[in-house]
Structure 1
Amino acid sequence: MGDMPRRPASERHTTTSPASDELGSETGNALLDVLTAFHHPTRRWLCELLAVEGPAPVGLLARRTGLAVGSVSHHLGTLHRYGFVEPAPELARDTRESWWRSRPRQLSWDATDYDQGTVARRIASTAEAENFRHHVRAVQRWLAEGESAPAEVRHASVATDTLVAATVDQMGELSRRLTELVVEWSEECRADARTRPDAARLPVRVSARVFPSGPVKP
C-alpha cells in the first residue's frame, strides 16, 4: 500500500480554526480559554517571534526556539484556535511546509468580573500576574542591553511616570486616551509597513498602567 498523500497546509489546520466570529469580545468561560491559551510563556514567545520576525514555517520556529517540531505545531494550533496566529499556506514551497503568521487581535479582561475564590477568578488573576511578569522581563532586558543600542534608538525610547491626585473620572479618561493612542499608533505602524515595506524598522514595545497608588515604602 502506498503512502497516503499529505493534505495541503490550507486543509491541515481546519480543526484549529477559530470557533468564534467575534474575536476580541469573548466573555465568561470563553474568555478564560483565551487567557489560558495566550498567557503561556512559550506560546507568547511564538506569538512575538511571528509578530517581530514575520511569517515562518514550523521547522524554522523549532530551530529558533530549541523546541521540538511537534511541540511548536501543538502550541501554534492552540494559538490559531483563539485567533492569535493564522496559517500562511501561500508561502509554503510544498505540502511538507506549514507556514504561520501573526494575527493581531484585542484581548482585555478584568479578574474581578469573576467571583472571589472561584477557579475562574484564579485563572484571570494568574493571567494578569503573568502579563505583568512578561512586561518586567522585557524592561529588564532593555535596561541590560539599552546602553549598547544606537543613540537615535535610545533617544526615541521613553520612560515616563507621574503620581498625582485625580478623580476616578479623570483616571478613567486617562486610561481611555492612552488605550486609544496606543491602538491608533499601532495601526498606523502596520499600515506604514505595508506601504513602505523596505523602511528600516525595529520591534517597539509599549506598556502603560494607570492605577491608584499611595507612597511606596522602600
Structure 2
Amino acid sequence: MSRRTASERHLHTSPVSGELLGTETGSALLDVLTAFHHPTRRWLCELLSVEGPAPVGRLASRTGLAVGSVSHHLGTLHRYGFVEPAPDLARDTRERWWRSRPRQVSWDATDYGEGTVARRIASSAEAENFRHHVRAVQRWLTEGEASPPEVRRAAVATDSLVGATVDQMGELSRRLTDLVVEWSEECRADALARPDVPRLPVRVSARVFPSPPVRP
C-alpha cells in the first residue's frame, strides 16, 4: 500500500479559506479564537515561530506531549491558518514537518450580544490572551536579570495616564497597531535577507484602555 502524500494527509485540516484569513467575522471569527486561544496550541505556534520548523516527533519531545496530541493541535491550527505543513523538509514520507504561518487576529467581544454564547467565547479569548501575556511578563521579570546588559537596555516598560477623548484613544490604538505590524514585517524580511544574524524572540504587547487610578 502506498503512503499518502503530504497534501493528502492534511486535506481534512486545510484552511477553510486562505483568502479570508485575517478578515473573519461572526461565527467564523469565533472558530478562530477558539482554535488559537488554547494554551497548548498557542505554545506550539510560538515554538514553531521562534525555534523554526519542526517535525511532530521533535515537538512532542520538546513539550512532553504525546505525538497524537501534538498532531491533533497542529491540525486545528492548520485549519485556521496559523501553521502549515512543510513536507519539503522531511527526509522521508514518515516525517511530518510543520512551520509557522504568521497571521493577524483582532476582535471586539462587544460585537456579540450580551449574555450570548458568542459573547462568552470572545470574552474568554480576551481573558486567555491577557493571561498569556502575564505569564510572559512574569517569566521576563524572573529571568531577565540574567540577560546581557545590552538586552536589558533594549527592553522597555512604559506607561502613561492622561486625559483623552474616545477618538484620541482610538487613534493611539490604531497607530500602535500599525507600528507593531510594520515593525514585525520589517523583522521578518530582514531575517530572510540576513539569516546568519543572531536574533532574540522579542514579544511586543501593548494595551490601550481607560483606567482609573489603581489602588496599591
Q: TM-score, normalised by structure 2?
A: 0.98
Provide the C-alpha distance between the structure 2 equivalents of 1:11 and 1:99, rounded to a whole number of angstroms: 14
Preserved CA contact (<8 Å) 1:9 1:97: no
Structure 2 residue aligned with 1:69, among 67, 77, 90? Answer: 67
- Partner residue in 2 for 1:23: 21
Residue 8 of structure 1 deviates from its aligned partner by 2.3
CA deviation vs aligned residue, 1:1-48 (integer Å, no higher than 9, x gap): xxx222122321111110122101111111100000000000000000
Residue 170 of structure 1 deviates from its aligned partner by 1.0
One-letter amino acid of the counterpart of residue 19, structure 1: V
How many positions carry a matched residue from both structures? 215
Q: CA RMSD in A?
A: 0.7
Q: Unaligned regions of 5+ residues in structure 2, if any?
A: none
What pairs with 1:185-204 in structure 2 (closer than 5 Å)?
A: 185-204=183-202
Provide the C-alpha distance between the structure 2 equivalents of 1:10 and 1:120, rounded to a whole number of angstroms: 33
One-letter amino acid of the counterpart of residue 7, structure 1: R
Provide the C-alpha distance between the structure 1 equivalents of 2:102 and 2:50, rounded to a whole number of angstroms: 12
1:100 match: secondary structure: strand
One-letter amino acid of the counterpart of residue 36, structure 1: T
CA deviation vs aligned residue, 1:162-218 (integer Å, no higher than 9, x gap): 000011111111111100100000000000000000000010000000001111122
Structure 2 residue aligned with 1:123, among 107, 121, 124? Answer: 121
CA deviation vs aligned residue, 1:37-77 (integer Å, no higher than 9, x gap): 00000000000000000000000000000001010000000
Provide the C-alpha distance between the structure 2 equivalents of 1:137 and 1:152, rounded to a whole number of angstroms: 23
One-letter amino acid of the counterpart of residue 75, structure 1: H
One-letter amino acid of the counterpart of residue 13, structure 2: T
Q: Unaligned regions of 5+ residues in structure 1, if any?
A: none
- Partner residue in 2 for 1:14: 11
What pairs with 1:47-58 in structure 2 (closer than 5 Å)?
A: 47-58=45-56
Residue 128 of structure 1 deviates from its aligned partner by 0.3
CA deviation vs aligned residue, 1:76-130 (integer Å, no higher than 9, x gap): 0000000000000100000000000000111000000001111100000000000
One-letter amino acid of the counterpart of residue 210, structure 1: V
Provide the C-alpha distance between the structure 2 equivalents of 1:55 and 1:79, rounded to a whole number of angstroms: 14
Structure 2 residue aligned with 1:35, among 33, 41, 57? Answer: 33
One-letter amino acid of the counterpart of residue 83, structure 2: V
Provide the C-alpha distance between the structure 2 equivalents of 1:5 and 1:188, rounded to a whole number of angstroms: 43
2:98 match: secondary structure: strand
2:20 match: secondary structure: coil
Is 1:5–2:8 an aligned residue pair? no
Is 1:215–2:209 an aligned residue pair? no
Provide the C-alpha distance between the structure 1 equivalents of 2:211 and 2:143, rounded to a whole number of angstroms: 29
> Which stretches of structure 1, 4 residues or longer, exceed 4 Å deviation after superposition?
none
Percent of aligned positions with the same letter in both sequences? 85
- Partner residue in 2 for 1:183: 181
